[in-house]
Structure 1
């Protein structure tokens, strides 16, 4: 009887241990399930730029719309790498979101068409394309081709030329060492206009201008002042050569891990953040122009038709190479 009682007591104790362990495991799993998913968003701009302010709003909206189940951490100023690094990161799932500009042409050819100089007449022309059927189809095709999901297009102000040499016509560009993004249309466009383009990461531009490695660069006005380039440039040349955008992208691998409700929340947050960011852009451009003027930069108005005529052969050749139908569709929207 003593042996039976001891066995019963041991069995009871073992049952309590097993039950206790099982309870702890369940509680642990439940706690893990309640922990928010933390996702990373990277871009190359400073924290003062509209890109970053738009991404801050996006992060706030994602957390709000998912009731805190998804959080977005922001990594500005190339912390996670260059535009190209960010896209490659999204393809393998090491980066969850990114704000990326024209570098997408290195991953899906038709984006090269959007980078052609003087393709779009103005911002309205660009918006009509991006927020219409053309932009929707482009994002769907991008997902299929790259594994990166397009969420929204954010607007940018036109790209302008800054230089330490007075530029009043294409003839003045001859031999000018100008930094351009690593985009074929940019390189060949500036070559056709007479300059000597040098692809370079944006994070290297200030020091390269300061040391004379390059003489010039081209970017939207707010980019110029956020990077303090007015400190190392003398002239702002109003070329308006590209009306551009920045695209909010997401790793499709990350997207697939979210619940349906979280996916919808991310998409809604992206749309609202786009509206918020677009409203900031015009105000930031006006402020940037004021800052450059106060810093002593001289603003040069040029005959843009002279520059436009120099790139037409490049545009037509690249359109034939990367998407004649898309090129024609955009031209027809001018009419």
Structure 2
């Protein structure tokens, strides 16, 4: 009897030990499954401030969520062009994206931000983005497109690159210029005398290379990171758009996160904004010198004649997409 009881006791201990070990492995597997893995897409290259800012954001999200949220960054249109990214966020197949003017196709008042010569300078832009106007635009985007605007990031001003010198507004006549799929950009370049060609950014390099288009316009950092000066000879300093990129998030994804994870994402976005904005400002002067050193011709122009023609379309877009919004931007001091 004693031997039977001893055997039973030993068997019970072994069973409990095995159960405990098995439970530990199961919990460890559950913990691994609890890590939320999200995807962030953008259209530019890996040396651009967008990408570096996105990588900083991913690092901060992991840190602030205690490792429960991980963000993988996909540059160079890997997840699709701007429109693809926005539609993906609406469906929940893309979690984050860095997008700008194409947002106007999903919430039309964003068109106004794309009007050339709307902003006086970089300071004016920042006062708008980080004030009441920017806050309202993000809320309207969420209400109308189910896209959550986390933070505006600044960009350097947009400049013109071309395969022939553009020294005055009249030189734009007949120039086949790639523009984003944004009505305000198309209309303004037409008003300045060019022939705008809407095109996804992923097609720009090859189109410049083959002569399908003669020119394009983007910030210096964008021009550099996408190697556009390999197929362009001139940079004209038009400063025609002081622009932004919006770090956006699918609201479907946001609602799936815990309150603590949501807070981590929002805090990370704020800190990454400071990082990216400082980086953009540091890059501008260095890039201009780099272009000169590499033999690119830099052309300084009087912006007034360009501005005069571009502003002829402002009234049309203000009336169509929000006179109050337009006036509130123009009147920010």
Alpha-carbon shift at residue 267 of structure 1 (Å): 0.2
Partner of 1:49: 48
Find the counterpart in structure 1 of residue 292 from structure 2: 293
Shift of 1:29: 6.6
Give CA deviations for 1:56-77 in whole Å, capped at 9, x if unaligned.
Answer: 1100000000110000001000
Distance 1:22 1:108 in 2: 55
Matches within 5 A, 1:242-257: 242-257=241-256
Q: How does 1:71-220 map to 2 (within 5 A)?
A: 71-220=70-219
Alignment of 1:231-246 (within 5 A): 231-246=230-245
Q: Structure 2 stretches of 5 or more lacking a match?
A: 1-11
- Aligned residue number for residue 6 of structure 1: none
Do 1:45 and 1:77's aligned partners in 2 also have CA atoms closer than 8 Å? yes
Aligned to 1:273: 272
- How far apart are the structure 2 equivalents of 1:23 and 1:250? 40
Counterpart CA distance in 2 for 1:229 and 1:38 is 33
TM-superposed CA distance for 1:25, in Å, is 8.4
How far apart in 2 are the matches of 1:306 and 1:121?
15
Task: Provide the C-alpha distance between the structure 2 equivalents of 1:309 and 1:77, rounded to a whole number of angstroms.
Answer: 35
- Are the aligned partners of 1:59 and 1:73 in contact in 2 as well (CA < 8 Å)? yes
Shift of 1:98: 0.5
Q: 1:70 to 1:177 in 2, by over 3 A?
A: same
Q: Secondary structure at the match of 1:46?
A: coil
Corresponding pairs, count:
321
Moved over 4 A (4+): 20-27
Alpha-carbon distance in 2 for matches of 1:77, 1:94: 18
| C-alpha deviation, 1:255, in angstroms | 0.4
> What per-residue deviation string (whole Å, max 9, x for no partner) do you get for residues 248-286 of structure 1?
000000000110011001000000000000010022222
Residue 31 (1) aligns with residue 9 (2): no
Gaps spanning 5+ residues in structure 1: where?
A: 1-12
Q: CA deviation at 1:313?
A: 2.2
Please state whether the residue corresponding to 1:117 is helix, strand or coil: coil
The Cα shift of 1:287 comes to 2.3
- Conserved 8 A contact 1:230-1:295: no
SS of structure 2 residue aligned to 1:45: coil
Q: Take 1:281 and 1:303, find their aligned partners in 2: how far apart are those partners?
A: 24
Q: 1:140-169: per-residue Cα shift (whole Å, max 9, x none)?
A: 111010111000000000000011111111
Q: Deviations over 1:173-225 (max 9, x none)?
A: 01000011111111111000000011111121111111111111100001111
CA distance in 1: counterparts of 2:275 and 2:52, whole angstroms = 9
Q: Is the partner of 2:262 in helix, strand or coil? A: helix
CA distance in 2, matches of 1:52, 1:67: 23
Aligned equivalents of 2:146, 2:156: Cα separation in 1? 28
SS of corresponding position for 2:45:
coil
Supply the distance in 2 between the matched residues of 1:96 and 1:291 (Cα, whole angstroms): 35
Contact 1:83–1:103 at 8 Å: present in 2 too?
yes
Q: Distance in 1 between matches of 2:247 and 2:133?
A: 17
What is the CA–CA distance in structure 2 between the aligned matches of 1:50 and 1:219, rounded to whole Å?
A: 13
1:253/1:22 Cα in 2 relative to 1: closer, same or farther (>3 Å)? farther
- Measure, in 1, the Cα distance between the counterparts of 2:130 and 2:48: 23
Residue 27 of structure 1 deviates from its aligned partner by: 6.0
Aligned-pair CA distance for 1:28:
3.8
Using structure 1 for the length normalisation, give the TM-score.
0.91
Q: Summarize the Cα distance change of 1:173–1:67 in structure 2 as closer, same or farther, 3 Å threshold.
A: same
